Amino acid sequence: MVQAYILVQTEVGRSSQVAHAIGDLPGVRSAEDVTGPYDVIALIEAESVDDLGRQVIAKIQEVPHITRTTTCTVVHLR
């Protein structure tokens, strides 16, 4: 299982709408409105890095009112 956090910037006043839309996508474990330089942070999971890109990240980038995303893949350094 591969996990990543997606940091999302949205159009002004659209963070709640975007968080809800992202939260409904398959593979998304959570999507929350936040304060700071990003408007929404989502935790996503997939079986492989390729699935993460194809099935989750590509779908998130199709959500209306998103202006920018940053993907942070989880690594285990133990």
- The pLDDT tens digits of the residues spanning 8-63 come to 999 999 999 999 999 999 999 999 999 999 999 999 999 999 998 887 888 998 99
pTM, to two decimals: 0.91
Q: Where are the alpha helices (DSSP H) in 1-78?
A: 15-23, 49-51, 58-60
pLDDT at 55: 79
Topology of domain 2-73 in CATH is Alpha-Beta Plaits (3.30.70)
Q: How far is CA 12 from CA 23, 52, 71, in A?
A: 19, 27, 21
